[in-house]
Structure 1
């Protein structure tokens, strides 16, 4: 075993290991082709959403020579509307200077002018800020000062000593141009993507294979009419401005609030959603500094969290009659399941003298907690799952994944192929009918028919299996495809009450927004029956969305419970004690040469496994001198990919243990990542545990600790021998833990 005490652990980037070794090449003017594709979509599906500015944008673009079109598209693809002219030189453009001059002549770009000067200052680098201040005679920051000090200096000077006219001929300004049509272009992007985050580089990512898209049978507009589109764009930008605003800048927040209150009534679902969410966001940050304005915002917002906060505020300020009236209004006509649950609970506590909340009640009814080893802190569900598997229960992590996948696969045609729910284009992953929560309202006939055609568990299994086979890998916005998906879903359908499945799928179709999350962590099968269980670590609370989904499952006829846990030593816990030998100390560049694993069950060593591994790289001489493993020894050994499945299987349902565990665990995770697979286990470090439970030794290196504890260690720095020694240390540690527990 290599000395691992000074090896820093690093997080594995799955993005790095999943990329293709050979990057596709795009055509020379790919970006222009993508812009034209984008423009054709807008003109063919959304011309009724365009105003004069947008129509003129496309008309003027069409008149430009190709070089000018190329430069304009390069400009619109930049993050900033301010662009240095010398960065617009491309081999495929004959004369970028002439193209820029033409773009300025027709109004697509401009010089830096008074109107954009202040925004321009904010994106300059430090040297530009220094150069811009040359003409000022007032005291300046030292040249060594950081950029923020220089930016503050120049910004303050704008109000006093520095004017646009003084610097308009400065090279800092004349070297830049400004994209003058950015508002128009951002609206066009919004029409295409349906949100503010869309960028044209997504077309490139699609063509490179980096971003998956799903083809649509017929493209369509994201909005019904221009008023709806403009309103959605306005309120999406308002919401963005509120999110990005400095929360300590109260005058700015008050201005944003006053603008919001004075704005026209939102038109359409998206605008209405953003409007009410904006009211709530502003109310939260203004309640302390401007309570009257904050309360006004809360009272006008229909966001569920805003309504809850406003009702609590009314009760706290002794306006109980008004509070009760609002609660009764929600009870009579609830906007959402979550809000209804709050109203029922709050009304019962405050007006019917109920002492505890329904969330507290449900947790109290959950029975005695079960003991889980502290190694599972942060992944308590894994600890419970391992416990159940040891009890020979068939157990799965399900949480939201099971129901979202089953819902999407059951109604695949209705969600992704029906004209009423058709997505706008290939970048629209999430069905509009789910965004607007009107799936059942629009397609109730098709939904009821689909459910009525499903008549047995086996038929449903066959239907889901066929749907997976047909559409596997298609991006969908609801769930991720994985190798075990079919097994999990068909196992569930085979054992679950058939009518209960259909009842809950129908409920999801009616109120998907309320029932898209909050599902129990685990599903297990016992004596042929399905059970769902929400796992709670010490100190965890039950969230309201979890209670909503749990209640719906119970109403549908499922067995659902909450299982509390507590951290304590478990003498029956399974462990795998691991040691590896490697070509060096860095997992990103070095490789494994040997793996040794010892399995501990019921406090005894029950099994072991060892293998040499071909590292596919040279073993340095110093490593061979340390471990005795030579290049000749590993030449014909299996590669990691050939033993990965065996390693995964042998170490399942057990805590991963090693001496300096992050070294061994990190290397193994990295090897799995190279295969585009994940490897996750709860882990314990025998160095840390020995320091805690076996104190007083001068050194906790494996060799010296074994010597002090009279543990036999043969062939030090060979994987299986080191793993056996570490297992003996673990047993000594657990002996102390058991004594302390009793």
Structure 2
């Protein structure tokens, strides 16, 4: 039974013995759903707990929830809700749920002691050490002590050893499917911090039988052990033949593949030829594509013929797309003398080059998105259609399959206004979100309601068929029936019927955790636009490929979806120095095979004259602190080296304007008394600044005030920003002062009404134009 959560002063609080309720809920689930997966020690563990008195049960669960194999009894005596804590601990010792420290425990125990305990232990044995010695040195000295000396020391009197750690970890593994989760997730659920799936008949055991469960648990433990293992322990573990046993079941195979790959990497990193040989043996066992890649590379160094034979075998019977891509690439370069890798060749031969302002260095996808959107703006929003010949010939995309129209006009230096007007380009950031959401919503019923044992427990976000990559294998008929939504009307279906179904699923299940995609407000809008511009057969083809191999096609999707002249294409965006990753190339090729238009966009940082800038200046009641407010805003829009528009307004700061501010700016309380509030101009101002780079002299001051004002309205503010102080220092070095007043004097610029927002913004705009002129000729 789920424990109740009581509201207290609008704060959720848990019942006094919530941990016991959670433990009982956990045990009940285990007995109902996992009875066939329990061996005698696990059954005895549960029965031993049930036979305890109530208060002893509470102490038992408290001990269970303590991390590690050791507990300090002194820390277990402060639970006010448990009657006579010491008596309950004694009861746990009596039934051997806890025991005293033994010599065999010392090696592990020493690693759990704090510095003060290690010092106490060493002093008792008259070991010499520096007071300033780090804990690692103290631990090294302590490990040299005899186990009997450690056990007999009073430090160990307070420490007891759990006897049920392995049984407990196994039960947790059955419930959560991993070794990282614990019962604190129940508390997070009850407090509303963690959202879980509702309990249903489709929840059940993760494994078909106990052999599969124990095999998966064994390899999961081995993988976890690698994180903290010493070099000597690693070598001992590698010699253990049991770690090479064949895994049983899909989940165990996955854990084993990762373990063998990781232990191989750890061994190969040692300066030891024997260890490197062992590493190759572990990689041969692993089905992980990275293990196979490492194995082939190292085999090639030792035996080229063997490497060639292995590559040919992979290419003849491909099982993993990323491994097949690597095998083809490696084979071409090593045995067919290909000079370029598949990825490099793709970038060079099938890509578009765009020149984007360097202000987007940390947000390259946004820069490309705004580049395309700027090209399609109506004339009055884009410098009255002034796209000069230099810009059109040098800065537009060099897309071979879609050459720019009106090339003759461009050669003659004329404007290409018509091309701009009809574009109306729409650009969406999609990456993995589009196809994951489309896949999850399309097959929601099959994944969560149709499949047997759809999820293990309410805490499972990812359905079993996704984890096991077996959706199409188990539910082929149902999958094909669902794909018919995209194709049933005629060969080139409009997909409107599919969109209706997807909308219904989203409405019914919105917000439910699913482990496939994240819900967001524009998800259905993006899916709707996508389905309006594509062939239903293409959609069905790719969703079928995902159903057959979701793990191979769950990521690596292009960054942008671009709709230009009513034609849809995808673009993967690469900043200078970026390479196509293997998973990206796999997904791109899968989309192309399904019939989608996909390209790669290579970005170079260069001044783009068609990038709109909004140069802003704010006057305020004081410094950029939460207590101060804006009194005036001036904004100037610059495109292609010209001021094309301006916006300004006094703002009621809803507080007094200090006298020294009035003396500095000329803005008085009387002037702002009837001025609009920031909340009354925000929408108009936001439209004015749309798609622009935010520019100001000492930009963080003005930008900071905007963020504060937006935050007061519970809205977020985020724009790429540029500082004219920094830019002037870079492109016009040597000035004694880079204040706005000094720069305008030095370069003969107008500043008739300094410290009024629009005047200062206009002056800063002139500085920006000077900087961009330098960039244009750089």
TM above 0.5: yes
Q: How big is the shift at 1:213?
A: 1.4
Question: Is the 1:366–1:564 Cα contact (8 Å) retained in structure 2?
Answer: no
1:575, 1:655 within 8 Å by CA — same for their partners in 2?
yes
Q: Does 1:255 align with 2:255?
A: no
Indicate the larger mover: 463-472 or 639-648.
639-648
Partner of 1:505: 543
Q: 1:158 to 1:343 in 2, by over 3 A?
A: closer
Question: What's 1:277 paired with?
Answer: 258
**Pair 676,294 (structure 1): closer, same or farther in 2 beyond 3 Å:** farther
Shift of residue 654, structure 1, vs aligned partner: 2.1
2:170 aligned residue (175, 187, 191) = 187
3-state DSSP class of the match of 2:195? coil
1:50 aligns with 2:82: no
Distance 1:603 1:610 in 2: 21
Match of 1:308 in 2: 293
Question: Equivalent residues in 2 for 1:100-499 (5 A)?
Answer: 100-142=89-131, 145=132, 149-160=134-145, 163-165=147-149, 168-170=152-154, 172-218=155-201, 219-245=203-229, 249=231, 251-259=232-240, 262-287=243-268, 289=271, 290-320=275-305, 322-367=306-351, 369-392=353-376, 393-420=425-452, 422-454=454-486, 455=488, 456-499=494-537
Higher relative contact order (CA 8 A, sep 6+): 1
Q: In the alignment, what sits opposite 2:637? A: 599
- For the residue of structure 1 that corresponds to 2:123, the secondary structure is coil
Counterpart CA distance in 2 for 1:629 and 1:80 is 66
Following the alignment from structure 1 to structure 2, what is the Cα–Cα distance between the partners of residues 371 and 562?
Answer: 14
**Aligned to 2:226, what secondary structure does the other structure show?**
helix
Q: CA deviation at 1:485?
A: 0.9
What SS does the corresponding residue of 2:538 show, helix, strand or coil? helix
| Range with greater deviation from structure 2 (188-197 or 331-340) | 331-340
How many residue pairs get aligned? The number is 710
Offset of 1:683 from its aligned partner?
2.4
Aligned CA distance change for structure 1 residues 584 and 297 (closer, same or farther; 3 Å): farther
- Give the TM-score of the pair, scaled to structure 2: 0.84
C-alpha spacing 1:554/1:154, structure 2 compared with 1 (3 Å): closer
Q: 1:564 to 1:63 in 2, by over 3 A?
A: same
Q: Secondary structure at the match of 2:598?
A: strand
Report if the CA contact (8 A) 2:576-2:604 is conserved. Answer: yes
Q: CA deviation at 1:436?
A: 1.4
Contact 2:352 2:599 in 1 (8 A): no
CA contact under 8 A between 2:215 and 2:247: conserved in structure 1?
A: yes
Equivalent residue, structure 2, for 1:90: 79
Contact 1:397 1:522 (8 Å CA) reproduced: yes
- RMSD across aligned positions (CA): 3.1
In 2, Cα distance between equivalents of 1:87 and 1:647: 59
Is 1:420–1:442's contact at 8 Å kept on the other side of the alignment?
Answer: no
Q: Is the 8 A contact 2:204 2:453 kept in 1?
A: no
Please give the TM-score of this superposition, normalised by the length of structure 1. 0.88
Where do 1:563-574 residues align within 5 Å? 563-574=601-612
1:300-327 deviation line (CA, Å, top 9, x unaligned):
222111212222333333431x223222
- What residue in structure 1 maps to residue 594 of structure 2? 556
- Rg (Cα) greater in structure: 2
For 2:310, what is the secondary structure of its paired residue?
A: helix
- The 1:260/1:514 distance shift into structure 2, 3 A limit, reads farther
Mapped to 1, the partners of 2:267 and 2:545 lie a distance apart of: 38
Give the superposition deviation at 1:506.
0.8
Shift of the 131–262 alpha-carbon distance from structure 1 to 2, 3 Å rule, reads: closer
Q: Which residue of 2 aligns with 1:539?
A: 577
Q: Which moved more, 1:204-213 or 1:706-715?
A: 706-715
SS in structure 1 of the partner of residue 484 of structure 2: helix
- How far apart, in 2, do the equivalents of 1:225 and 1:643 lie? 66
Are the aligned partners of 2:174 and 2:205 in contact in 1 as well (CA < 8 Å)?
yes
Deviation at 1:388, TM superposition (A): 0.5
Given candidates 17, 25, 28, the residue that maps to 2:16 is 28
Kindly indicate whether the alpha-carbon contact (under 8 Å) linking 1:190 and 1:196 is maintained by their aligned counterparts in 2. yes
